[in-house]
Amino acid sequence: MSLLGEPELTEEGEFVINIGPQHPSTHGVLHLKVWLDGETIKKIQPHLGYIHRSIEKMSESLSYRNFIYATSRMDYLSAHINNQACALTVEKGLQIEAPPRAQAIRILMAELTRLSSHQLWWGCTGLDLGAVTPFFYAFRERELIMEIMEETCGARLTQNYSVPGGVMYDVHPNFQNRVKDVMKQVKSRFREYEEALTGNVIFEQRTKGVGYLSAEDAISFGCTGPTARASGVSCDIRKWFPYDGYDKLQFDEIIMTGGDSYTRYMVRMEEMKQSVAIIEQLIDNIPEGDFQAKTKMVIKLPKGEFYQRVETARGELGVYIVSDGAASPYRIKYRSPNFSNLSALSHMATGAKIGDLVAIMATIDLVIPDVDR
Amino acid sequence: MALFLTISFSSIATGIHTWLAGTMQNEMLVKITEMAIAGISLLLFLVPLCFFLGYMERKVAAFMQIRLGPNRVGPKGSLQIVADTIKLLLKEGLTPTASDKFLFNLAPMIVVVTSMLVMAPIAFAKDFQIWDLSIGVLYVSSVSSIAVIGILMAGWSSYNKYSLLGAMRSGAQIVSYELSVGLSLISIVILTGSLRMSDIVMSQENGWWIFKGHIPVLISFVIFVIASTAEINRAPFDLAEAEQELTAGFHTEYSGMKFAMFLLAEYINLFVVSAIGATLFLGGWMPFHIGHWEAFNHIMDFIPSSLWFFGKTFAIIFIIMQFRWTFPRLRVDQLLTLEWKYLLPISMVNVLFVTVMAIMGWHF
């Protein structure tokens, strides 16, 4: 389409607009080519590659200790969980297990990450639907969690805290008290969240029945995480393939069957409460002992293929390493949740309005750097 | 106090008129000069008003969003908006190459001029009115609908698909919601029996219509606030802009002062709509009077009439501002559903009730 030429008209009355790569509600450099009939969406074609940094290829020239840090930049809101997935894969290859203390710390950090990620998502959902205020309320609590991260990991967003064999340092002495304080505050604020957005008539109208995804479609598109669980698909990796001792914890897998944007919203709201429950179970029971297993200075995985899946805030992250016995992986592949979840977007949004597209994108909770990697 | 009562605004106006008539000897010239004076004083009033509204909006937003808002430039950040205006003035006003340049540059002016025109029949204080024409309410509702032409023009001439979508949304929205605004205004016209603004204010001498008119007037007031929020394209009805959907809607391509004009028009519209709501439903500059309680009414008269007017107007502005920071945005079909399926039928039935009430003399 030329800049100055006639607008591209594919059919009578059809109208093509490019949403992105710079657009307020794509939350990144996602480019959607949208065919419209008036306000109704006829077709969506996502165009990827605007933030492709070839993290997988980069990882092939990095050592097994170093490649983990690149993954913080994939799904930056689940940075710790990405690191954890990589550390677990390397541990699988080395046939070691992180000491119980390290496992507990990892789970605590992972759940804090999930909580903060969902809080950010909650604020952004409000923002996308035109309610600016929830964003600030979400960031108020998120900030508290970021401060915990900062204290223990030294970084707020890209923690890089997990290393093969455990975690990099022990937790800050203040960690337990601080987490308990923050959890108390976060729990008391769930009510505010519900008052601000959940019960709002306009919000319900905007999300109920919008962007329906059936269980069959969710499976066939490879959707995971809250997106699939809202369609009634049980896919919580923490339950199905427990890692780092999730099997010893009491928590529910939130499954709802609505399949629309509102259900996806509710699933995430409930997941936040589950994360708080997990943290509260664990915070007083962090086992004593080492925070890191002994590993060699230069890690070399034996020849073979290793795969580990974890549940990030957005779904299933799979790390697949092919090793030829050298000090860096021969081939790495990440199965990122956002890429698969994005593929269902066109199916969900066809026939909806432009406003619905924004609502659907918000409730899929896309993080674009994870789509492209 | 005596001084305050004797020098009313009307005597100032009469003084200026006699002086002009004495010096100029030409009736036409006097009229033109008076119009120019009125226009310039309106502009001088509007600029600080918009500064204040801009500042107020930010502070209201900050208050609702647990943050401080502007607090660096000037005392309590009050000069922030001046700094922003200077920035907008210095910015380059781009005109897209493929746009219809004439319409593109004309559109913001139409939007601003329309919103200023509507100011004419508003009574800011006792005897302080630019033009007390006999069809005041009709004038307001007809002139304010010209604004949609400016918005459509902006959207069409920008040569941008987002702008076009925003303009089309805005067209559908303003045309629809005008009906409800009109019907809610009509209920007061029925009760007053006059379209003249000064008559409407004077009819509320023994109580404002919102108290005198029972539930039907209360319903019209609520409908008026909702529908006029939609008519001036403010959240939750800001579909024409819809930042998250259409980046900036009809003014996506505007920059610099041309963009500022749309902003200016938005704030003037906000003020005008609230002023009209205050005049028709809350008595305009009329102090709070209760029936024949002479003593009470007399005490209330000590508060200057301009204070009453601005107090009421800003109360409505505050409510409309709170809407913006509370609600999510409606979808375009829900917006039209709200108007055509709920507000319009309700206000039609409501007008019937008001008419019956006016005929039977059930109101106070």
Domain count, chain A: 1
Quick check: B215 pLDDT over 60?
yes
* H-type alpha helices, chain B: 2-6, 9-24, 27-64, 80-90, 101-117, 136-144, 147-157, 161-192, 197-202, 209-212, 214-231, 243-246, 256-281, 294-301, 305-324, 332-337, 344-360
- Under an 8 A CB cutoff, do B333 and A23 touch? no
Identify whether A186 is part of a domain.
Answer: yes
Please give the pLDDT value at position B248. 78
Query: Quick check: helix, strand or coil at residue A42?
Result: strand
Query: B358 to each of A106, A135, B190, B361, how far by Cα in Å?
Result: 73, 48, 7, 5
Residue of chain A whose alpha carbon sits nearest to that of B64 = A133
- Under an 8 A CB cutoff, do B327 and A131 touch? yes
Range of the domain at A326: 51-372
Please give the pLDDT value at position B364. 67
- Under an 8 A CB cutoff, do A356 and B331 touch? yes
Among B238, B326, B331, select the one facing A353 at the smallest CB separation. B331
Greater confidence (B125 vs B259) lies with B259
Task: Report percent pLDDT > 90 for chain B.
Answer: 3
Among A132, A140, A206, select the one facing B325 at the smallest CB separation. A132
* CB distance B300 to B289 below 8 Å: yes
Quick check: B244 pLDDT over 80?
no
Query: What's the whole-number mean pLDDT along residues B198-220?
Result: 82
* CB distance A288 to A339 below 8 Å: no
Please give the pLDDT value at position A9. 53
* CB distance B317 to B53 below 8 Å: yes
Greater confidence (B131 vs A57) lies with A57
Query: B211 to each of B207, B302, B346, B363, how far by Cα in Å?
Result: 7, 21, 20, 9
Q: How many A/B residue pairs have CB atoms within 8 Å?
A: 86
Please give the pLDDT value at position A10. 59
User: What is the C-alpha separation between A126 and B329, in angstroms, rounded?
Assistant: 10
- What b/e readout covers A280-309, taking b as 16+ CB neighbours within 10 angstroms? ebbbeebeeeebbbebeeebbbeeeebebb
- Taking contacts as CB-CB distances below 8 angstroms, the residues of chain A near B161 are 7, 15, 17
Please give the pLDDT value at position A12. 66
- Under an 8 A CB cutoff, do A136 and B66 touch? yes
Please give the pLDDT value at position B8. 63
Quick check: B1 pLDDT over 80?
no
* A31 bridge partner residues: A47
Which parts of chain A have pLDDT scores under 70? 1-13
Identify whether A65 is part of a domain.
Answer: yes
ipTM of the complex: 0.79
Please give the pLDDT value at position A97. 86
Residue of chain A whose alpha carbon sits nearest to that of B330 = A202
* CB distance B153 to B316 below 8 Å: no
* A334 bridge partner residues: A319
Query: What's the whole-number mean pLDDT along residues B77-100?
Result: 85
- Under an 8 A CB cutoff, do A355 and B246 touch? no
Query: What's the whole-number mean pLDDT along residues B173-183?
Result: 87
Among B161, B162, B328, select the one facing A129 at the smallest CB separation. B328
> pLDDT averaged over chain B?
83
Both tokens of A104, joined, read 């507990």
* CB distance B173 to B230 below 8 Å: yes
pLDDT class for B5, splitting at 50, 70, 90?
very low
Identify whether A165 is part of a domain.
Answer: yes
Query: Quick check: helix, strand or coil at residue A366?
Result: coil
Both tokens of A296, joined, read 């060699």
Quick check: B137 pLDDT over 60?
yes
Amino acid at B107: A
Chain B, residues 270-309, CB within 8 A of chain A, namely none
Can you give the CATH number for the domain in which A178 is found? 1.10.645.10
Query: A74 to each of A227, A371, B3, B112, B126, how far by Cα in Å?
Result: 19, 8, 74, 47, 66
Query: Quick check: helix, strand or coil at residue A308?
Result: strand
Quick check: B147 pLDDT over 80?
yes
Residue of chain B whose alpha carbon sits nearest to that of A132 = B325
- Under an 8 A CB cutoff, do B161 and A133 touch? no
- Under an 8 A CB cutoff, do A25 and B244 touch? yes
Quick check: B326 pLDDT over 70?
yes
User: What is the C-alpha separation between A164 and A292, in angstroms, rounded?
Assistant: 8
Residue with tokens 């996502």: A46
Query: What's the whole-number mean pLDDT along residues B260-284?
Result: 88
**CA nearest to A336, candidates A312, A353, A307:** A312
Please give the pLDDT value at position B325. 86
Greater confidence (B363 vs A213) lies with A213
* CB distance B247 to B97 below 8 Å: no
* CB distance A96 to A326 below 8 Å: no
The 10 Å Cβ neighbour count of residue A11 is: 9
User: What is the C-alpha separation between B56 and B90, in angstroms, rounded?
Assistant: 24
